[in-house]
Every structure is written in C-alpha cells, then in structure tokens.
Structure 1
Amino acid sequence: MPTPPIAVDIDGTLTRSSGMGIDPRVLDPLAKWPSPVVIATGKSFPYPVALCQFIGTPERVIAENGGIVYVDKETIKLGDDNAVTALEEEYRAAGYQFGWEGADTVNRWRETELAVARSQPLEPLTELANKHGLEVVDSQYAYHVKDPDISKGAALKRAAELLDRSVSEFVAIGDSANDVSMFEAVDTGIAVGNAADVAKKAADYVLDKEYATGTVAALQQIKAGTLQGSTDCE
C-alpha cells in the first residue's frame, strides 16, 4: 500500500516534551518520507521554510494557520489582512502590548495575522476581533487573530491541489485547536497525547505518546500500516 502524504504541525507535535525546540528524532523520518510532507504551522512564513531546509525535505509549507501556502516555489497568500492591520493599530492605541520581548520575532515577518502572547488579556483582543470580523484562535502557545475564512484545513486543500493530490489522501498530525480544520479535511487525523481536548475530539486517532515521541510513533505505524490509538474521541 502506498505511503500517504502527511501534513504535520510544529509546536507540540515536532517538539520535545518541554514544548521547546525541535526533537531531533523527527528529522530523519520526515527527510526520508517517500510521499510529500507539508509542514503546517501557526508560525510566520520563514520558520517552516527554514525547518524544511534543515530537515532536507522540499519546501512545502502552510504558515500562519493557513494564511500562506508555499509549495515547490509557488506562493499563495489567502485572506485579506487589512482588518488585521486595523485591529493591530487599535490594540496598540488602547495601550495593550503583544507580549513578546525585544524585536518581536513572533510577528516581525507575519503577513496575514497577528499573534499575541497568552499572558495578555483575552477579552479586549476578542472584542476588537469581533468588531473587525476576525476570530481569535488559541493554539496553546499564542492567541492568533485572523480572518475566519483562513484555516490550516483550507490551506491544505490548496497545497494538495498544487501537489496534484487529493486532500483526503493526507494524514494530518497535530495537537491544537488550529489543527482541527486539518483533521476535518483529511480522512485520517492524528492527535498526539498532549493535544488539546478539542483536537482530540476532532481526530480519528489519539495517541498515548506525547509531543514528538507520539509523532515518531505515528510515522512508524503509518509506514507499517499498523496505526494504533484510541478512536473513541467523543
């Protein structure tokens, strides 16, 4: 049976159990994966591209929770970021900060959304988002303010088209609320053991193992055709 293409999140999915830093055990399995690998993240555009370069896999990424799709040198920017820019200006004018120290590399190269630290108050951010027709998604690592029509799932459909594949062929692996749309778009969605409850409920399989340990186990099982995990996700 052919090995399916995969779409995989970064934070909480390819990272160590501390949640910080890529676990090096995921690098070889991704580099040697025989079908397309799409890195799908809430991080800004440069980060997943750099990760692909370090892994040694073709640059196929979904960035900013679906705001940007980049596959084999073709870039698609989804959604209208004008409302995000207006919210950002009003948020600053109201005296709020994004919560990132220094040069704010979290948002510095972000093109289609805004990421606010979870240490910042959620209510005023949500109020402004509603005013501008935007939504706030909690990835467990940041509050992401974005166009509600943008999602990892919708972006994966575009990425699949560029790869001349059906999105249903993909296996998606993730851990957060922003991965739910990917699970809904594919036939097989896998939540690692540390996943948020909303992600576990949307997944077809929930692993016992957490973070990158879970992802490595999932990749081994997918390739062997022995995928295991709870399917009682209600």
Structure 2
Amino acid sequence: MFLVASDYDRTLASEENGFILSKDVAEKVNNFVKKYPFVVVTGREKRFINILAKGLKPTAWILENGSFALMDDKEYYFVENDWFNLRENIIRKLDEMGIKYSVGKVIIYLDNAVHLKNKIFLENASIEWNRSDGMIMPTYINKGFGLKKFLQLINFKGKTIGIGDSENDINLFKNVDYKVAVHNALKEIKDIADLVLDEDNGKGVSKLLDMILTGEIYKVIKI
C-alpha cells in the first residue's frame, strides 16, 4: 500500500496558471484516490484552496504547513494551545516593526518578504520559507511533522511517497519513505530526491501516479 503526499504550489499546480489546478490533474488524483490514499500537504489556507483547487478530492488536506489536517470535513489540530497566546505577541511585534502579514487558523503569513529574512528574530517560533514567502509557526511544526501526525491518526502502515519542489518540502522529504521532485523543483530538492520527474508541476505528479498504478515505480525506485 502506498500513500502519496504532495505539495500544492508549483507541484500540483503551476505558477504560470495562477496556481489554479487543471481539471486533468484533479481527475487524475481523484481516480488515484479510489485505490491509494493521496494527501495534499501545503502551506496554504483552505479558503484559498477552495478557490484554486475546485473539484480536487484527496483523501485529506494537511494545511498551513503541517499545522492541522482536514479529512471528511473534520479538523485535526497538531499545535499546542499555548501557541495562540504566543502568536498574539508575535503579531504585536510585527505591527511595531511595520511588517505586513496575514493570519491563518494557526500560522502567520509573510507574503513576498524574503528581504526580511535576516531582520525578524522570534523566540519559541520559527519562520519557514517557501521561495519568497515566509510562514511563522511553532518551532516543531512543519510539513513532515503534520504528515507524521496524520499517519498516526489514520494508523497507516504502508509506504509513503512525498512530492515537492521547494524549501518547505525538505521536512516533508525527511518523513517519507521515498522522495520525488517535480522537474521544476529547486536544485536543493532535486539533490535529495530518490526520483526527479521529467515533467513540471501537475504533469509530473500525474506521471508519478500512473507509474504507481502500473507498477512502473518499482523499476525506477528501489522499493
């Protein structure tokens, strides 16, 4: 049994298309889910996913960079309650510094803020970067942690395959059995992947799903 855990931005959906998921990719994933679990592990909030990924029905969503999971319309949070008091203190600090931000259900987003990378110092919180965007969250939260908690939640015992493209997928890769990079992934992601696909974004993911369904995956990854 395989479980596929896929990033969303620049993995399932392309930046060139405004991160709107193509109908072909949605259909491919929805058909795959009939046989194997498929979870989307993303830094995004669900309110944006609802707009961008219409028609996509994965087994579950692991949202806000691993902060919580959404499955069968139920939310499962992976953060300690004291985070929300700490978050208020961080928000006050950002306000004092004049830094623009938005707030999800758990994390704080810094859009196009890579120029602030060496200017924000936080206690008991971390900033994880996804190219130019930053996400402030508890120090222990990341995509890998969220996936690990989700696997425990569903008592999954099979093999896991992670697909990604960027820095915040490194922790996802650390918590899966096999690591796959789409063709448009950053070099640092390709360097640690077990398999680098020859197609970008959703086309690459679709190809991987076909490889799993046909058994071709066994020829390219030592499983």
TM range (shorter): 0.7 to 0.9
Secondary structure of the residue aligned to 2:184 is coil
1:94 matches 2:93:
no
1:206 to 193, 196, 203: 196
Would the aligned equivalents of 1:205 and 1:228 in 2 still touch at CA under 8 Å? no
2: CA distance between counterparts of 1:52 and 1:5? 20
1:15-26 matches, within 5 Å, as: 15-16=13-14, 18=16, 20=18, 21-26=20-25
Question: Within the alignment, does 1:150 sit opposite 2:151 as a pair?
Answer: no
- Partner of 1:115: helix, strand, or coil? strand
Higher strand share: 2
Kindly provide the CA deviation profile for residues 119-152 of structure 1, in whole angstroms up to 9, marking residues without a partner as x: 463146532x2xx222211112511111120111
Query: What residue identity is the alignment partner of 1:220?
Result: D
Q: Where does structure 1 lack aligned partners over 5 or more consecutive residues?
A: 99-106
Deviation string, structure 1 residues 69-92 (Cα, Å, up to 9, x no partner): 223344222222332331122111
One-letter identity of the residue aligned with 1:7: A
- 1:64–1:112 Cα contact (<8 Å) kept: yes
> Is 2:162 the partner of 1:172?
yes
* Cα distance between partner residues in 2 of 1:18 and 1:77: 32
SS in 2 for 1:200: helix
TM-score by length of structure 1 reads: 0.80
Distance 1:193 1:153 in 2: 21
Pick one of 83, 88, 91 that aligns with 1:85: 88
Partner Cα separation in structure 1 for residue 186 and residue 84 of structure 2:
27
Query: Contact conserved, 1:62 with 1:156, CA < 8 A, in 2?
Result: yes
- 1:135 is aligned, of 126, 140, 154, to 126
Aligned mates of 2:53, 2:148 — CA distance in 1: 20
C-alpha RMSD of matched pairs (Å): 2.6
Match of 1:72 in 2: 72
1:68/1:75 contact within 8 Å kept? yes
Given residue 112 of structure 1, which amino acid in structure 2 is its aligned partner? V
Identity in percent? 22
Match of 1:118 in 2: 112
Distance 1:82 1:15, change over 3 A: same
> Which residue of structure 2 lines up, in the alignment, with residue 102 of structure 1?
none
Aligned residues: 215
SS at match of 1:54: coil
The two structures have a TM-score, normalised by structure 2, of 0.84
1:7 aligns with 2:1: no
After superposition, the Cα gap between the structure-2 partners of 1:119 and 1:184, relative to the gap in structure 1 and judged at 3 Å, is: closer
**In structure 1, distance between residues paired with 2:98 and 2:67:** 27
Deviation at 1:230, TM superposition (A): 8.8
- For 2:206 and 2:23, how far apart are their aligned partners in 1? 10
Change in CA separation of 1:177 and 1:151 when aligned onto 2, cut-off 3 Å: same
Cross-structure match for 2:153: 162
What secondary structure does 1:180 align onto? Answer: helix
Unpaired runs of 5+ residues, structure 2, are none
Structure 2 distance, partners of 1:140, 1:229, is: 32
